[in-house]
Structure 1
Amino acid sequence: MSTLSRHLANEDILLNLQAASKKCLFEAIGQHMEKTHRVAHESVTAALHRRELAASTALGNGVAVPHARVIGLNNIRVLYVRPIVPMMSYAADGHPVTDIVVLLVPAPATQEHLDVLAHVASLFSEPGFRTALRACLNPADVLRLFERWPH
């Protein structure tokens, strides 16, 4: 099991999410966290928004990794989000964002959240991984790919 997949659950893989902007994306993530994990959506939404104001979390090549410390969160949560329509407004390099890994951590953050960020950056730097991920059509396949990459 990878560093990332230890914190990613099947119910936190959101394929075909309707989000036309970062604001809509962060709101949808907040709603999901409140409904699924009983973390106040305002806390999640505000934390992601504050972090994004500091600097863009778009990595390039269609990937973004919004991350934030969230009040009321007891452990690290990772979400994988694939918007229905690629997000042009998020793209730092001009490539539309198609893959979003959200990292939510309790405050104070620990070394573990930096390890997860490093693992995400490493995975998504591999074109083969990005291609394989985009071919996954359901959450179980996405989770399996995260757990088993590289083969």
Structure 2
Amino acid sequence: MNINQLLTPEATFCSLKLSSKKKILEKVSETLAQSIDCPVEDIFESLFTREKLGSTALGHGIAIPHGRVKACQKATAVFILLDEPVDYDAPDNQPVDIIFAIMVPEQADNEQLRSLAEIAKILSDSTLVSQIRHAHCREALIEILVKASETIH
């Protein structure tokens, strides 16, 4: 997986102020709609429907919301580092401040689904997560994520 193919600087946010899980999913949907020729409402519905099945929070302040939409041609991501953690129905009851959202095509292949697993693996590294939380700009966030994705290959 190449982070640069999934994530653009325009879809990377540092110290964003969002107050709820719903607001996070709305921001993710709006951002993805700019990359995917798809209505914001369809993207939000996909993400929200997936969340109803069970929270995509992993614990330790991290969530990986994901979904599928027909209009999506390739896996596309949004990365958000919040200025303050918010409740996200995490299994460990910890609020979330790191969100790596991904949208894949409706008929996603194994490679695209593998991206989800690789993101989870990257974000399971506590040293990397600490670096992310101390980043002060989107460029630093992207650099951290690109380096991390290169080390798992």
Q: 8 Å contact 2:14–2:141 — kept in the other structure? A: no
Q: Percent identity?
A: 26
How far off its partner does 1:33 sit?
Answer: 2.5
Whether 1:74 and 2:66 are equivalent positions in the alignment is no
Displacement of 1:38 in angstroms is 4.0
Question: TM-score when scaled to structure 2?
Answer: 0.88
**Which one is further off, 98-107 or 77-86?**
77-86
The 2-side partners of 1:128 and 1:33 are apart by 28
TM-score, structure 1 normalization: 0.89
CA distance in 1, matches of 2:132, 2:4: 14
C-alpha displacement at 1:5, in angstroms? 3.8
Q: Give the whole-Å Cα distance in 2 for the aligned partners of 1:32 and 1:49.
A: 15
Q: How far does residue 96 in structure 1 lie from its aligned partner after superposition?
A: 1.4
Query: Contact (CA 8 Å) 2:36, 2:71: kept in 1 or not?
Result: no
In structure 2, C-alpha distance between the alignment counterparts of 1:115 and 1:33, rounded to whole Å: 20
The aligned residue for residue 115 of structure 2 is 116
1:13-28 superposed matches below 5 A: 13-28=12-27
SS of equivalent residue, structure 1 residue 103: strand
Q: How many residues align?
A: 150
Uncovered stretches (5+) of structure 2, i.e. residues with no partner: none
**Local SS of the residue matching 2:9:** strand
SS at match of 1:112: helix
- Structure 1 stretch displaced more, 112-121 or 100-109: 112-121
RMSD: 1.9
Amino acid corresponding to residue 72 of structure 1 in structure 2: A
Instruction: Give secondary structure in 2 for the equivalent of 1:98.
Output: strand
Whole-Å Cα distance in 2 between the matches of residues 106 and 8 of structure 1? 15
Q: Structure 1: give runs of 5+ residues left out of the alignment.
A: none
The within-5 A match list for 1:1-150 is: 2-35=1-34, 37-149=36-148, 150=151
Which deviates further from its counterpart, 17-26 or 29-38?
Answer: 29-38
